[in-house]
Structure 1
Amino acid sequence: MSRAATLVCLSFCLGLGTVVPVAAQPGDDHPGHPMGNPHRRAEWVSDKLTKELNLNADQAAKVKQLFEEEEPMPMPRPGEMGGEFMKQLRASSPDTAAMNRDFETHMAKMRAKHAERVKRFAELHAILTPEQREKLASFMEKRRDEMKERMKDRWGQRHMEKDRE
């Protein structure tokens, strides 16, 4: 498997399809939605993997605990994302050092979250049997391909227009 495919699978497995960053918010902002709070998200992931991979009771409990321990990564507040960039864009002369500091702060948070996800991936890998890991990889590849198709339908026309230019 290529490195890119591995990263896609890793990202999907760790997020299990949770694209909406709100899923990482604590609390119950979205009642009825499994991604509304960490406990329900862990339960949803555990149930989904139990069903898809035929996990035994011990594996299901370990997977649920693994995802309950996940630290939420809060979404930036409105206006924080790109705030330094916008500030410098409006300045008479840009402070590139401030922009670089802002970028490094963001990257440090991303590196910490990546390290946490790699650790969680290794723990999940140890819980699953080789057959279950293969089944999960196949399932994730199928979901990735389905998402590509949906995105092609959604964005295909725009890209086709760019190719003509």
Structure 2
Amino acid sequence: MLHKILIIVAVVLVLLVIAKIFSGCHHPPHFCKSHSSHEKKANWMMKKIAKELKLNEQQKVELEQIKDEILAKKAEFKINHQEIKNAVLSQVKSDTVDQAALNGLFEDKELEFKEMRAFLVDKFAEFHNILTPEQRLSLAEKMEKFHSKRHQ
């Protein structure tokens, strides 16, 4: 039972880290260590993960590859986000709202979100597979500590 809980907590933390990479930072620059770009944030997180979990060189290479794939997917996702903004803005400027067009656009976006979710779960599984059992336990402990600090 404890093992299942640790795995669930690890999944949630990694997904939160990945989500943070995708979400961008809305805090003041002094709050975030790498405020200037998603790539810098991802690099900072990667270094922190490597240090905290004491990753070996092979694990670092594999984590770098995962990070690069996530950043590439994020760039593709951001382009698609701009499409929604443009479509909604166009509808705001028009005399009438084309509900069918907007619903069609959002249905397409829902499919993209499902694809993104599957992609992120796959990347999490890859990350999980490169860790040793000791590293997974260490990550779970760090996640529990982080969660308890944030939700006291």
State the TM-score, normalizing by the size of structure 1. Answer: 0.61
Report % sequence identity. 27
* 1:118 aligns to 2:103 (yes or no): no
Change (3 A) 1:77 1:50: same
- Between Structure 1 and Structure 2, the one with more helix by share is 2
Which residue of structure 2 lines up, in the alignment, with residue 56 of structure 1? Answer: 56
Is residue 6–residue 140 contact of structure 2 (8 Å, CA) maintained in 1? no
Change (3 A) 1:147 1:103: farther
Deviations 1:84-133 (A, max 9, x none): 8x74xx74xx6543343132122112112112111111110110011211
Cα shift at 1:14: 2.7
Change (3 A) 1:67 1:99: same
- For these two proteins, the number of residue pairs brought into alignment is 136
Matches within 5 A, 1:53-132: 53-70=53-70, 71=72, 72=74, 73-74=77-78, 76-77=81-82, 80=85, 83=88, 87=92, 91=96, 96-132=99-135
Is residue 50–residue 60 contact of structure 1 (8 Å, CA) maintained in 2? yes
Structure 1: tracts of 5 or more residues without a match: 24-31, 150-165
State the TM-score, normalizing by the size of structure 2. Answer: 0.65
Deviations 1:137-161 (A, max 9, x none): 2222333343445xxxxxxxxxxxx
SS of structure 2 residue aligned to 1:11: helix
Structure 2: tracts of 5 or more residues without a match: 27-32
CA distance in 1, matches of 2:61, 2:10: 26
**Bigger relative contact order, structure 1 or 2 (CA pairs below 8 A, ≥6 apart):** 2
RMSD of aligned Cα (Å): 3.9
CA distance in 1, matches of 2:78, 2:43: 20
Change (3 A) 1:64 1:115: same
> After the TM superposition, which of the residue ranges 43-52 and 67-76 deviates more from structure 2?
67-76
CA distance in 2, matches of 1:3, 1:74: 30
Which residue of structure 1 lines up, in the alignment, with residue 16 of structure 2? Answer: 12
CA distance in 2, matches of 1:119, 1:7: 11
> After the TM superposition, which of the residue ranges 48-57 and 140-149 deviates more from structure 2?
140-149
Deviations 1:67-92 (A, max 9, x none): 122222317349818928x74xx74x
Which residue of structure 2 lines up, in the alignment, with residue 33 of structure 1? Answer: 34
Change (3 A) 1:65 1:52: same
Change (3 A) 1:18 1:145: farther
